Structure 1
Amino acid sequence: MLAKAATEGPRRALLIEDTPSLALVYQGYLRRIGFEVQWCKLGREGLTAMATSAPDLLLLDLQLPDMHGTEVLSALQEQGARFPRVVITAHGSVEHAVEAMRLGAADFLEKPFTAERLQITLDNVLDRVQLHEQVRVIREQIERDGYAGFVGRSLPMQVVYRIIDSAAVSRAPVFITGESGTGKELCAQAIHERSDRAEGPFIAVNCGAIPRELFESEIFGHQKGAFSGATRDRVGAAEQAHGGTLFLDEIGEMDTDLQVKLLRFLQSGRVQRVGATRDRAVDVRVVCATNRDPLHQISEGRFREDLYYRLNVIPIEMPPLRDRGDDVLSIADHFLSLLSAREGRPPKQLAPDVRQLLIDYDWPGNVRQLYNVIYNIVLLQSGPDVTAAMLPAALLRVAGDVQGTTTRGQERVRTGTERGGSPAAGILPLAVVEKETIQRAIADCDGNVPVAAAHLGVSPSTLYRKLKQWAQSPADQG
């Protein structure tokens, strides 16, 4: 391995040895296996040399005139030195070898040793160093705390980061799905910024915000006089994105007639402005996103199946915030720091009970909702700590459901006592109280389960699941 490494450029070894005759022998050994060698007689001299330029390897005799070799190792450990250190010990100095390993030495050689023994030791040491470096790089790539504007290291986000890495080097269309507020546009921007089109434009079009009659003009442009109000030529989003990326957000809202034209554009790479007689070639990479289920839209005839499969070459599903575990705390801390600095407000920190509330809440509005909650706190609340009282009512209901249950139970206890019965006679099972609360919330919202879920601070899927359970086993659920 060392001979091969030498062909890639000589490695530099620092030898600290106070005996000139031994130093001469060790230098010969090291040069024979491909190292350039710098020799120092004293420990402090060696520390000065390493401070000036870190070597690829340190070969250190422990018995030095000015200081013990373990002191050299201790100083290097405090400095955070990353190069491997191999110590030379006298026969029988096992305790010193053990201490040296504790202080960061990778291995030790017992005097006397041969060139072959030195090479075997260094091969093993440098193999381990290379392996540790590879593991460190892989860990940085796989376990990233954030990426391209995203904050969080949860497993679902690690998957997203890796797909973005892979998608960026391709020119294939990308189809991003996910609930509102999960960061679909940020994902599209990350793909653009990491692609070879990063110097080109990133043009975003919200398909849900454009009136139907203006849709074709917005995407493909129009000629002057093409329709009433077309007083000048207009370049559409597809042409504006030439050489870059066209991001079509909420593509599920696009009219089916325009979907046909978009499919033709994707197949031909040419656009024709409204009112024009000739088409134009454009070079764009298309990324689209939707918060709807595209397969459900296809089954309902609202999204063309051929367009879906043309766009869905690289699918990316953005996870909802409730599935990202402790990421919610990292994001909240990030927003607190960012917005406090932006608004010139003193920094704040989340109180422990607030941190638990943020984790327990379902976040139907995802990261966008969390941003708004933190922004409101930064603007309107004072004090160094974010307390539960500063949170909006929807979040407080997470804790309030438990407190409310306790209050209702106490009322039932008092009622039972006033009637001369046992206090325990007024206590109902928690499952019964939960069912009453949910049914009352749904009734108050005129049967609208998603709205009731938002008021209760839970996911609609949670309510649907419980309703299904109660329908299947009504007797068991009170």
Structure 2
Amino acid sequence: MNLPLPMPDGPDILLVEDTASMRTIYESHLRRAGYRTVSAGTAAEGLEMFRVHPISVVLLDLMLPDRDGLDLLVDLLQMRPETSVVVVAAERSTDRTVTAIRRGALDYLVKPVTESRLMEAVEAARRAANLAHRPHSAAARAPLPDFIGQSAPMHEVYDRIRAAARSMAPVCICGESGTGKELAALAIHRLSARAQGPFITLDCGAIPPDRLESELFGHRRGAFVGALSDRLGAAELADGGTLFLDGVGELHPTLQPRLLRFLQSGLVHPLGAEAARRVNLRILSASTLPLAEAVRMGQLREDLFYRLQVVGLQMPPLRRRGEDIVPLAETFLARFAAIEGRSFTRITPEAMALLRAYPWPGNVRELSNVLRAVTVLHEGEELTAAMLPPELASPAPSRPGAGLATVPDLSGLTLAEVERAAIEAALTRHEGAVQKAAADLGVSPSTLYRKLESWRTD
């Protein structure tokens, strides 16, 4: 095997492609953009070149004459995990895409690959590789911005966020209401190669179904009654950055096929527009209900699930983060004391014991709200147990959905009737407080509002 000697400055990109004409085309595009390339026609040649050169980006065809490209992908990343690998395939296959991303590929291209699409992928790969080559810097070891907590569950979250940030893979962040799902999505964006691009959030559960398509894809003037001017949707606003679909497990069934087509094609077709436009963005999503469970319940299409959750991230509830309650409470107290002009500087041991013992069904958001209320309603240097809400001394059931035990005999009821009984029982326990009832049931408040509205029109 005749292999080239290492280049003086080293090549930027290794191209592994068995078709000579395709190698020539890719090399031409890359060299015109100023990249230095080295290429191979087989997996064995590519692996050897990878050993010889300090490559940071690999463009890898999955159909090679001597070996499956997916297996070569694993070997490359085992040798140098910080490498950015962009895979290329002759046809789009959901299974192959998911497998490639889960094995560590940064992006997945389908032939024929246009020059613009190739350069988008390679430039993102270079940015990701540059970030990954600084693993031992002080910034990389520091806690993630805006997060508080050193518990084992949170360290798992931090590691997962850092790993997900290197990739272009779709990530779905699941967890109870108030656990910080949007904060995690924003951290992935800020640590990614797209950090300089926009971060656009769309709350799928809070927008009425008849407006959701327009909010996501935009519309042109006159597309429907009330469309008085052109409007960009969230997908176009996120071009070059990240689109965060919050509450995606509650996405209305009529919009799911359109979202699936968009994820497959990357084309945005605003309502009333004659032509579609291609956008380049990354999809992050969040759901209080695990997406696999939403599929099982018939709320989410299975093919959409595979597009949204290549990588999963589970946010732990506060009751599993016991040691984090103290720094969280102290941080919130100091923050709100400064905002409200109070002199609080510490929390008494008795008050801290109550904070630690309470199960926090509303998670970090509920803890923050409690500390904000205390600073608004009280004065002094010490936060005492007497200042805390009375329910902290007699907490409600700690497990989301635990209120089901208080529902009367459910035998003979349909699933819809059981669901309604559980929701009504939770609302009764919390005296009609939708936010608290939703936290108790482990769903978002928008879900309960929609259920209540639908029952009013029955």
TM-score, normalised by the number of residues in structure 2 = 0.57
Give the aligned residue type for 1:318. Answer: M
Q: Does 1:283 align with 2:280?
A: yes
Structural mapping, 1:417-456, within 5 Å? 450=426
Which residue of structure 1 lines up, in the alignment, with residue 91 of structure 2? none
Which residue of structure 2 lines up, in the alignment, with residue 292 of structure 1? 289
SS of the residue 1:150 aligns to: coil
Deviates more, 1:383-392 or 1:361-370: 383-392
The 1:452–1:359 alpha-carbon spacing in structure 2 relative to 1, beyond 3 Å, is: farther
Q: Distance in 1 between matches of 2:279 and 2:197?
A: 13
The percent of aligned pairs where both chains have the same amino acid is 46
Q: Distance in 1 between matches of 2:425 and 2:152?
A: 30
Deviations 1:384-421 (A, max 9, x none): 111111111221214x99xxxxxxxxxxxxxxxxxxxx
- Find the structure with the greater CA-based Rg: 1
User: Please, which of 221, 233, 237 is the counterpart of residue 224 of structure 1?
Assistant: 221
User: Please, which of 154, 158, 167 is the counterpart of residue 155 of structure 2?
Assistant: 158
Which residue of structure 2 lines up, in the alignment, with residue 342 of structure 1? 339
In structure 2, runs of 5+ residues without a counterpart are 1-135, 398-402, 409-420, 442-458
Q: Distance in 1 between matches of 2:175 and 2:405?
A: 30
Which residue of structure 2 lines up, in the alignment, with residue 353 of structure 1? 350
Which residue of structure 2 lines up, in the alignment, with residue 250 of structure 1? 247
Q: Distance in 1 between matches of 2:404 and 2:317?
A: 26
**Between Structure 1 and Structure 2, how many residues are aligned?**
283
1:440 positional shift: 11
Q: Does 1:170 align with 2:167?
A: yes
User: Please, which of 384, 390, 397 is the counterpart of residue 381 of structure 2?
Assistant: 384
Q: Does 1:320 align with 2:327?
A: no
Give the aligned residue type for 2:325. Answer: V
SS of the residue 2:255 aligns to: helix
Which residue of structure 1 lines up, in the alignment, with residue 82 of structure 2? none
Q: Distance in 2 between matches of 1:220 and 1:390?
A: 48
In structure 1, runs of 5+ residues without a counterpart are 1-136, 402-437, 462-478
Give the aligned residue type for 1:294. Answer: L
User: Please, which of 185, 188, 202 is the counterpart of residue 185 of structure 2?
Assistant: 188
Instruction: Compare the two structures and name the one with the higher helix fraction.
Output: 1
User: Please, which of 193, 202, 208 is the counterpart of residue 205 of structure 2?
Assistant: 208
Q: Distance in 1 between matches of 2:430 and 2:192?
A: 39
Q: Distance in 1 between matches of 2:234 and 2:376?
A: 36
SS of the residue 2:228 aligns to: coil
Which residue of structure 2 lines up, in the alignment, with residue 365 of structure 1? 362
Structural mapping, 1:61-140, within 5 Å? none
1:348 positional shift: 2.8
SS of the residue 2:244 aligns to: strand
Q: Distance in 1 between matches of 2:138 and 2:206?
A: 41
1:293 positional shift: 3.0
1:315 positional shift: 0.6
The 1:177–1:442 alpha-carbon spacing in structure 2 relative to 1, beyond 3 Å, is: same
Deviations 1:124-173 (A, max 9, x none): xxxxxxxxxxxxx799978x6x4221100011100010011111111111
Deviations 1:64-120 (A, max 9, x none): xxxxxxxxxxxxxxxxxxxxxxxxxxxxxxxxxxxxxxxxxxxxxxxxxxxxxxxxx
The 1:358–1:140 alpha-carbon spacing in structure 2 relative to 1, beyond 3 Å, is: farther
SS of the residue 2:294 aligns to: helix
Q: Check whether the contact 2:170–2:283 (CA below 8 A) recurs between aligned residues.
A: yes
Which residue of structure 1 lines up, in the alignment, with residue 27 of structure 2? none
User: Please, which of 383, 392, 396 is the counterpart of residue 393 of structure 2?
Assistant: 396
Which residue of structure 2 lines up, in the alignment, with residue 307 of structure 1? 304
Give the aligned residue type for 2:331. Answer: H
Q: Distance in 2 between matches of 1:299 and 1:314?
A: 19
SS of the residue 1:363 aligns to: coil
Which residue of structure 2 lines up, in the alignment, with residue 70 of structure 1? none
The 1:181–1:304 alpha-carbon spacing in structure 2 relative to 1, beyond 3 Å, is: same
Deviations 1:243-298 (A, max 9, x none): 01000100112111211111111111111001112100001111000111322321
Q: Check whether the contact 2:342–2:380 (CA below 8 A) recurs between aligned residues.
A: no
Q: Check whether the contact 1:250–1:288 (CA below 8 A) recurs between aligned residues.
A: yes
SS of the residue 1:161 aligns to: helix
Q: Distance in 2 between matches of 1:314 and 1:375?
A: 35
1:300 positional shift: 2.4
Q: Check whether the contact 1:441–1:452 (CA below 8 A) recurs between aligned residues.
A: no
SS of the residue 1:176 aligns to: strand
Q: Distance in 2 between matches of 1:312 and 1:369?
A: 28
Give the aligned residue type for 2:229. Answer: R
Q: Distance in 2 between matches of 1:451 and 1:228?
A: 37
Which residue of structure 1 lines up, in the alignment, with residue 234 of structure 2? 237
Q: Does 1:270 align with 2:267?
A: yes
1:344 positional shift: 2.0
Give the aligned residue type for 1:282. Answer: V
Give the aligned residue type for 1:381. Answer: H
SS of the residue 1:205 aligns to: strand
The 1:389–1:155 alpha-carbon spacing in structure 2 relative to 1, beyond 3 Å, is: same
Which protein has greater RCO, CA pairs closer than 8 Å, 6+ apart? 2
Q: Distance in 2 between matches of 1:138 and 1:320?
A: 30
1:211 positional shift: 1.0
The 1:197–1:208 alpha-carbon spacing in structure 2 relative to 1, beyond 3 Å, is: same
The 1:439–1:453 alpha-carbon spacing in structure 2 relative to 1, beyond 3 Å, is: same
User: Please, which of 327, 332, 340 is the counterpart of residue 330 of structure 1?
Assistant: 327
TM-score, normalised by the number of residues in structure 1 = 0.55
Give the aligned residue type for 2:388. Answer: L
SS of the residue 1:230 aligns to: coil
The 1:330–1:262 alpha-carbon spacing in structure 2 relative to 1, beyond 3 Å, is: same
Deviations 1:316-343 (A, max 9, x none): 0000000001101111101111111122
Q: Distance in 2 between matches of 1:150 and 1:380?
A: 27
